[in-house]
Structure 1
Amino acid sequence: MSDNQNLLAGQRRALILDEVRRRGGIRVSELTRMLQVSDMTVRRDLDVLARQGALEKVHGGAVPVAERRTHEPGFEAKSSLELSAKSEIARAAAALATPGSAVALSGGTTTFAVAHQLLEVPDLTVVTNSVRVADVFHHARQAAEGGPAPAPTVVLTGGVRTPSDALVGPVADAAIGSLHFDVLFLGVHGISVEAGLSTPNLAEAETNRHFIRSARRVVVVADHTKWGTTGLSSFATLDEVDTLVTDAGLPEADRDEIAAHLAELVIAGADEGRDRVLA
């Protein structure tokens, strides 16, 4: 094999690895179309990358190397991932909020995106344990002073701060448990049929349980890379979720599996820009 061929193979594998990390997994068929190479070539590349420990081969494709179930990425580390998907999810989720209602938002980068969209919904009362989410509404209130419409009323729970800038623990649990919400927008580390909703942080799991118990409607906002991921602690089963809002990157087979266990699945941005609802 020539040096030029070695270089091309290295470039191809770097591109494959980048796509796997960026999207949270990719199928062999997608790689053959994207790279315009044979199925056999892609599978050889995946074999090489798997032997190097750079990714994990699964049936029909590859996924990132599994993280420890206790690993909790910081807010900044997660904020640059799946930006387009989070934006689509946020728009679709915010459409579920009714003007004048009591809304809760948990911590996370997807709920952070939802918060920006909720600024367009009038007369909300917002309760959150996310410092970042509270800042979104705080800055909106400052900007709205003297304007034609008031900013939402925001309640930030107390608690101990996690790497994802969520406040958890007994103080947060007590505050949340004493309140009642029309709708909860809940971010998750992972979601699956077997483990339900999960997080690497034990205290955050308990705080999320209080959120769920206090909400009339539970809306989980999670991009497609969260499906099949499992954190250390499960805090809810899928039948406790009313609606899952995810993005069009979720494969059809996974959509069918999720729809069989949930009352409502919303695929944000599907079907030429329109959201697709599978009930």
Structure 2
Amino acid sequence: MLAQLRQQAILERIRRTGGARVAELVQDLGVSDMTIRRDLEALADRGLVEKVHGGATIAGAGSTEEPGFSAKSARQEAEKEAIARRAARLVRPGSSVALSAGTTTWTAARHLADVPELTVITNSLKVADVFYRSGRADQTVVLVGGVRTPSDALVGPVAVAAIRSMNVDVLLLGVHGMSVRAGFTTPNLLEAETDRELVGSAQRLVVLADHTKWGTIGISTIAHLDRADVVVSDTGLPAEAGAELSERVGELLLADPSEPDDRGEPTA
């Protein structure tokens, strides 16, 4: 493939998904690591992408950028499905579970909808809708109030006040990004405040974050890495990221998107 055509393909992918890692591009385009890095350098020189550790993001994507729910739900679908399925196994029947807003936690909710006797606390309209549609009479679902964000989260002082009075067994937390320096982050200041209250309410913190979240930094920190009891990511997580997380979090679980789901069907 000519360099111009390859760079156009890379640019289209980054625009579609918000970012791409070098390792993924090497595999998908069948060229060397060095070739991809030169392509990204050329695109960055033209102001079309911004280089980040291990890959690139769309130019202008800053720490306060917050894609809508629909845009995020189309990214890393197989990885999110595998992560959600693995995380759902950590929730026992009859327990209380909080789910933050996000497309990965929304996917996890679909796996939890059949778990008996759950008490569910959430600030996500999408997550609450999953449990509402399941119609289980033995589940209790509490949707906190608040101001709606682009990711369909309810945040702000009303949400914080409601969550502050609660204590849950486990929190499934979705994040915008994670890094050694900034920890788990979000691009929305009010959502960060609400998520911090969710973290404080939980006996056990389980963070759901696909491999593209590593190295992404939102404007506000929810919690430092060592606060997480478990991080559930996927097998696309770079080795160096896995080493950093394993050193700092209680447990790192890597879900394989190619493994069959509970019905014996592959997720990818």
TM-score using structure 2 length: 0.88
User: In the aligned structure 2, how far is the partner of 1:231 from the partner of 1:154?
Assistant: 29
1:50 to 41, 44, 55: 44
Deviation at 1:34, TM superposition (A): 4.1
Match of 1:260, SS?
helix
1:139 to 133, 144, 165: 133
Deviation at 1:186, TM superposition (A): 0.5
Whether the aligned pair in 1 keeps the contact of 2:102 and 2:124 (CA below 8 Å) is yes
Alignment of 1:177-196 (within 5 A): 177-196=164-183
Match of 1:217, SS?
strand
Alignment of 1:209-220 (within 5 A): 209-220=196-207
Would you say how many aligned residue pairs link Structure 1 and Structure 2? 259
Structure with greater Cα Rg: 1
The one-letter code of the counterpart of 1:174 is A
Tell me the equivalent position of 1:97: 91
Do residues 88 (structure 1) and 75 (structure 2) align?
A: no
1:133–1:194 CA distance, 2 compared to 1 (3 A): same
Deviation at 1:209, TM superposition (A): 1.1
Identity %: 54
Match of 2:163, SS?
helix
Tell me the equivalent position of 1:277: none
Deviation at 1:197, TM superposition (A): 1.3
Tell me the equivalent position of 2:101: 107
Whether the aligned pair in 2 keeps the contact of 1:102 and 1:181 (CA below 8 Å) is yes
Whether the aligned pair in 2 keeps the contact of 1:23 and 1:225 (CA below 8 Å) is no
User: In the aligned structure 1, how far is the partner of 2:239 from the partner of 2:18?
Assistant: 16
User: In the aligned structure 1, how far is the partner of 2:128 from the partner of 2:24?
Assistant: 39
Once superposed, what is the RMSD of the aligned Cα atoms? 2.3
Whether the aligned pair in 1 keeps the contact of 2:208 and 2:232 (CA below 8 Å) is yes
User: In the aligned structure 1, how far is the partner of 2:103 from the partner of 2:33?
Assistant: 36
User: In the aligned structure 2, how far is the partner of 1:172 from the partner of 1:77?
Assistant: 25
Whether the aligned pair in 2 keeps the contact of 1:188 and 1:221 (CA below 8 Å) is yes
Do residues 62 (structure 1) and 49 (structure 2) align?
A: no
Deviation at 1:9, TM superposition (A): 3.0
Whether the aligned pair in 1 keeps the contact of 2:78 and 2:257 (CA below 8 Å) is no
Do residues 207 (structure 1) and 186 (structure 2) align?
A: no
Match of 1:266, SS?
strand
TM-score using structure 1 length: 0.85
1:96–1:15 CA distance, 2 compared to 1 (3 A): same
Structure 1 segments unaligned to the other structure (5+ residues): 145-149, 275-279
The one-letter code of the counterpart of 1:63 is A
Deviation at 1:37, TM superposition (A): 4.2
Alignment of 1:1-279 (within 5 A): 8-20=2-14, 22=17, 24-27=19-22, 31-32=25-26, 34-37=28-31, 41-57=35-51, 62-64=55-57, 65=59, 67-141=61-135, 150=137, 152-269=139-256
Whether the aligned pair in 1 keeps the contact of 2:234 and 2:254 (CA below 8 Å) is yes
The one-letter code of the counterpart of 2:166 is L
CA displacement, residues 159-216 of structure 1 (integer Å, 9 cap, x when unaligned) = 1111111111111111111011000000111111111111111111111111111100
